[in-house]
Amino acid sequence: MAAARHSTLDFMLGATADCNAVLKALQPVFQEQGMTETVHNWEDHGYLATYIKKNGSFANLRIHPHGLVLVDLQSYSDHTKGREETDQLLNKVEERMKEFFHGNLKRVKRLPTILRGGVIDRYWPTADGRLVEYDIDEVVYDEDSPFQNIKILHSKQFGNILILSGDVNLAESDLAYTRAIMGSGKEDYTGKEVLILGGGDGGILYEIVKLKPKMVTMVEIDQMVIDGCKKYMRKTCGDVLDNLKGECYQVLIEDCIPVLKRYAKEGRMFDYVINDLTAVPISTSPEEDSTWEFLRLILDLSMKVLKQDGKYFTQGNCINLTDALTLYEEQLSRLYCPVEFSKEIVCVPSYMELYPLRLRKRRECV
Amino acid sequence: MAAARHSTLDFMLGATADCNAVLKALQPVFQEQGMTETVHNWEDHGYLATYIKKNGSFANLRIHPHGLVLVDLQSYSDHTKGREETDQLLNKVEERMKEFFHGNLKRVKRLPTILRGGVIDRYWPTADGRLVEYDIDEVVYDEDSPFQNIKILHSKQFGNILILSGDVNLAESDLAYTRAIMGSGKEDYTGKEVLILGGGDGGILYEIVKLKPKMVTMVEIDQMVIDGCKKYMRKTCGDVLDNLKGECYQVLIEDCIPVLKRYAKEGRMFDYVINDLTAVPISTSPEEDSTWEFLRLILDLSMKVLKQDGKYFTQGNCINLTDALTLYEEQLSRLYCPVEFSKEIVCVPSYMELYPLRLRKRRECV
């Protein structure tokens, strides 16, 4: 794949560094490559040496006086030769540093090379902002709908992955998510009335329809998510999205808020409401309060269309977002009627984190 | 945490770039920060501008003529102020690029900031070489044994993680791994003779001892792994490593090869052999053949100490390493006696990948 290859190599020394000595030790390694040197000396803050090669590659050597030496190498190539050259140069730098410092290197760290600006973007951070490289090898679908950017990318281990506006939503490997949000196999959906909010990937709908419910109504705002998923997420949705209507289900392409309001007004009631809309708002700053308002509105409206013995299932969020999860639970105490809930932690393959802290809530009032 | 913070911001333009125009557009953003500019012009390969700040920070602006603009920012700080300054600068660069190119930016990508040279190393690549940042917040144990480097690092979501010579071995969250390598709950260990090869974290031993076996013998080469795990991986090993001998188990601190040879010679037989030694050798190059020889030696010796109806369990490797897994299966056909095997894919939380392709093999000859 043609992309800029960014490689790093870091050394933590056992003591403060003689910056000039480190520079002198490494200079020949870069100069042997025919690279031209420019050095900046901060005095108090050490050195930055930049090495430039005729073919467009360059390296940075940053020497911090407290004993940290950082090497960066950037080159643009679409062939393995460039890759080998980079590796060889970094190997030489590492050898030279080991010769020079003998046992006095506390740590040597080389990260996997980062590919920048290639056609395929492999880096999709977790909900708590950590860097994760996926094994993406193909862009299957990439479109902007009126609501969001919709990507479906192929991963060798997870199958196709649905990414909405940069957030990993669901992969074909993630039946564990669908099972969890449906109640981990402990619910009997036979003959039941079910309402799914969101769920455009079709996973929940597909799994519930197998269980002979009376009627499942799914309300998804974005037709294009359905269009993409029915074509490229078939391990998740099977054939259930091929028609918006089946024997025991219907899909409404609508904003769920007016639908919920209409149902509440009409007295239309469900045994299960499954909220698969979005993750918990991550920000806990006051200006985001409207997002929590939105969440509470959905919850309140859902309670209104839930039968006396009905259940409401949703996902929480990455368990590291403890503040967001606490706030979520606080919202539950602020509903118009008191509710009980339970939660479960599930490992979802493609999320690479223990993600859907599932909240299960029993209705206690009308 | 005091560390060098490396931030990146990448732009893919909709067309080839007028390198000089991009440089002119962004120059003021860096100059406003009091940064000193050095520009290298490759002509054919575009520009590299380096911006240096008095406080030791610096930025690289690499403009590729085919329409890729890469910004790197490195600063060293242990306070949030430095972080905010970095974010503000990148925000300004992004704003300026959006103003300048209007709708003609195909992609804007900012990775989570990489922390380099801090006390805590959060980056532990997967078996197939992908970059993954863990939520490590504490170095619990870090020692060199005669055999390997042993680290136990604390992760908020996975608990303590055992990392042997840079490879993530097992986290306290990973009961799924232990369950899988024991046969996914389908085996009856009551009254059985079990041999564990490796397994120094104590997870398998702890789980099997609960199931009332006749005798479990664990052969672990590295006393220091046991010392570290019995102290810091107690969710995995419970109290089982507190003593090297219990009512129905013993731990031998030995190389398992001579032990297996001794048992084979003595005619000592087991119902189960569980190989928890190491992952499949990842390299498939000829010079690594000795590693495969080692693996086959272990397998051959294990077959010799396995009863007629006995079972041999082990882990495979990350399912992306298809070549290594194919080679592994080939080894099975080269054993001194024909064997059958089955495999299962299990999602192990801390591995962040579908890792232990478990091979289960039934013995068919003596």
pLDDT in tens, B170-199: 999 888 889 888 988 889 999 999 999 999
User: Is B271 in the active site?
Assistant: no
Residue of A nearest to B129 (CA): A112
Q: Is residue B285 predicted with pLDDT exceeding 70? A: no
Return the bridge partners of B195, or none: B217, B273
Q: Closest Cα partner for A292 from A303, A281, A300, A302?
A: A281
- B176 to A320: CB separation less than 8 angstroms, yes or no: no
Residues of B in contact with A132 (CB under 8 A): 130-133, 352
* Nearest CB partner across the interface for B111, out of A45, A128, A131: A131
Contact between A178 and A185 (Cβ < 8 Å)? no
**pLDDT mean across residues, chain B:** 87
pLDDT at residue number A343: 73
pLDDT at residue number B319: 65
Q: Closest Cα partner for A339 from A321, A320, A316, A313?
A: A313
Q: What is the mean pLDDT of residues B323-330?
A: 74
Q: Is residue B224 predicted with pLDDT exceeding 90? A: yes
pLDDT at residue number B346: 72
Tell which of A69, A71, A87, A126 to mutate to test the B interface (max B CBs under 10 Å).
A126
- A8 to B116: CB separation less than 8 angstroms, yes or no: yes
Return the bridge partners of A59, or none: A51, A73
| Interatomic CA distance for residues B172 and B350, integer angstroms | 9
- B157 to A320: CB separation less than 8 angstroms, yes or no: yes
Residues of A in contact with B352 (CB under 8 A): 132, 352-353
| Interatomic CA distance for residues B189 and A218, integer angstroms | 47
| Interatomic CA distance for residues B154 and A187, integer angstroms | 36
| Interatomic CA distance for residues B93 and B99, integer angstroms | 10
Residue of B nearest to A174 (CA): B347
The alpha carbon of residue B87 is apart from the nearest alpha carbon of chain A, in Å, by 14
| Interatomic CA distance for residues A124 and A175, integer angstroms | 20
- B50 to A55: CB separation less than 8 angstroms, yes or no: no
Return the bridge partners of A114, or none: A6
CA distances from A5 to A117, A259, B18 (A): 9, 49, 22
Return the bridge partners of A242, or none: none
pLDDT at residue number B320: 67
- Chain center to CA of B204: 20
- Spatial neighbors of B274 by CB under 8 A, at least 6 apart, are B181, B182, B194, B195, B196, B197, B199, B204, B312, B313, B314
Residues of B in contact with A122 (CB under 8 A): 130
Q: What is the mean pLDDT of residues B333-355?
A: 67
Tell which of A55, A113, A123 to mutate to test the B interface (max B CBs under 10 Å).
A123
| Interatomic CA distance for residues A299 and A313, integer angstroms | 10
Question: Helix (H, G, I), strand (E, B), or coil: what is residue B218?
Answer: strand
* Nearest CB partner across the interface for B116, out of A10, A52, A156: A10
SS (H, E, C) B23-52: HHHHHHHHHCCCCEEEEEECCCCCEEEEEE
| Interatomic CA distance for residues A140 and A232, integer angstroms | 7
Residues of A in contact with B168 (CB under 8 A): none
- A68 to B320: CB separation less than 8 angstroms, yes or no: no
A352 by Cβ neighbours in 10 Å (0-12 / 13-18 / 19+) ranks as buried
What single DSSP character describes residue B133?
A: B
pLDDT at residue number B132: 92
pLDDT at residue number A197: 94
* Nearest CB partner across the interface for B64, out of A60, A76, A173: A76
Amino acid in position B202: G
Give per-residue pLDDT as tens, B11-45: 999 888 899 999 999 999 999 999 999 999 998 99
**B239, two tokens:** 């109290």
The list of chain A residues with pLDDT below 50 reads 280-288, 352-366
Question: Helix (H, G, I), strand (E, B), or coil: what is residue B349?
Answer: helix
pLDDT at residue number A354: 42
Residues of B in contact with A70 (CB under 8 A): 4, 6, 74, 116-117
**Cα R_g (chain B), whole angstroms:** 27
Percentage above 70 pLDDT, chain B: 88
- B68 to A173: CB separation less than 8 angstroms, yes or no: no
Half-sphere exposure of B94 toward its Cβ, with a 13 Å CA cutoff?
Answer: 14
Q: Is residue B366 predicted with pLDDT exceeding 90? A: no
Contact between B132 and B125 (Cβ < 8 Å)? yes
- A4 to B44: CB separation less than 8 angstroms, yes or no: no
Q: Is residue B106 predicted with pLDDT exceeding 50? A: yes
Residues of A in contact with B128 (CB under 8 A): 135
| Active-site annotation holder among B276, B289, B300, B323 | B276
Residue of B nearest to A53 (CA): B42
Residue of A nearest to B133 (CA): A131
| Interatomic CA distance for residues B204 and B238, integer angstroms | 11
The confidence band for B359, taking pLDDT boundaries of 50, 70 and 90, is: very low
Residue of B nearest to A38 (CA): B38
* Nearest CB partner across the interface for B117, out of A70, A123, A156: A70
Question: Helix (H, G, I), strand (E, B), or coil: what is residue B89?
Answer: helix
| Interatomic CA distance for residues A245 and A252, integer angstroms | 9
Q: Closest Cα partner for A22 from A91, A96, A124?
A: A96
Torsions phi, psi for B358 (to 5 deg): -85, 130
pLDDT at residue number B84: 87
DSSP per-residue string spanning B128-162: T---BB--EEEEEEEEE-SS-EEEEEEETTTEEEE
Tell which of B52, B116, B320, B322 to mutate to test the A interface (max A CBs under 10 Å).
B116
| Active-site annotation holder among A10, A18, A276, A309 | A276
**A78, two tokens:** 């679409």
- B121 to A109: CB separation less than 8 angstroms, yes or no: yes
Contact between B216 and B205 (Cβ < 8 Å)? yes
Residue of B nearest to A42 (CA): B56
A19: left (phi over 0), alpha (psi -120 to 50) or beta: alpha
Tell which of B62, B121, B168 to mutate to test the A interface (max A CBs under 10 Å).
B62
| Interatomic CA distance for residues A244 and A249, integer angstroms | 8
- B117 to A58: CB separation less than 8 angstroms, yes or no: no
